[in-house]
Amino acid sequence: MSDCLFCTIAAGEISVDVVYEDDKVLAFRDIDPQAPTHVLVIPREHFDNVSEMTRDNPLLAAEVLAATTEVAQLETLERGYRVVTNVGTDGGQSVRHVHFHVLGGRGLTWPPG
Ligand code: 5GP
Ligand code: ZN
């Protein structure tokens, strides 16, 4: 998708601080971090949200989730962390390319806003 920000990032056309990558998945630091560790994990292939990805390519969905664990290990979040994916307007999704936020490095409160 040429007009998708995260497709553009996945194609290497916008520079990001990469934490982990393989042929299917890219993990990079959020531009506006909400915790000491705030990494976004995306599939290189475009899906609007987690529901679409899980329906169309469940194996890829599992690989993206596995990459969140890889990120947590690389960031040494042994005290715990949070994995969040926002869906749609009420979910607060601002970028319509599925992504998982990996947040950690401080105690996180609940419930979210
Ligand atoms: P959402 O609100 O869709 O769940 O999350 C989108 C995230 O993407 C936000 O946390 C936002 O800070 C991050 N973001 C938006 N534009 C960029 C960018 O150009 N580079 C990086 N690294 N993160 C971005
Ligand atoms: Zn995209």
Tens digit of pLDDT for each residue in 80-90?
A: 999 999 999 99
What is the domain range of residue 29?
A: 5-104
**Is the pLDDT reported for residue 113 higher than 90?**
no
pLDDT score of 35: 98
3-state helix, strand, coil split of the chain in percent (to 5) is 30, 20, 50
- Whose CA is closest to atom 16 on ligand 1? 31
In a domain, 26, yes or no: yes
Total domains in the fold of the chain: 1
**Residue 79 forms beta bridges with which residues?**
none
In a domain, 112, yes or no: no
Give phi and psi for 35, each to the nearest 5. -160, 165
In a domain, 113, yes or no: no
From 20, 21, 31, mutation site for ligand 1 pocket: most ligand atoms within 8 A of C-beta: 31
Q: Is 99 a catalytic residue?
A: yes
**Is the pLDDT reported for residue 1 higher than 90?**
no
Q: What's the pLDDT band for 50 if we cut at 50, 70, 90? A: very high
User: Across the chain, how many H-helices and E-strands are there?
Assistant: 4, 5
Give phi and psi for 36, each to the nearest 5. -55, -40
**Is the pLDDT reported for residue 14 higher than 90?**
yes
Instruction: Give the pairing of strands 100-104 and 37-43.
Output: antiparallel
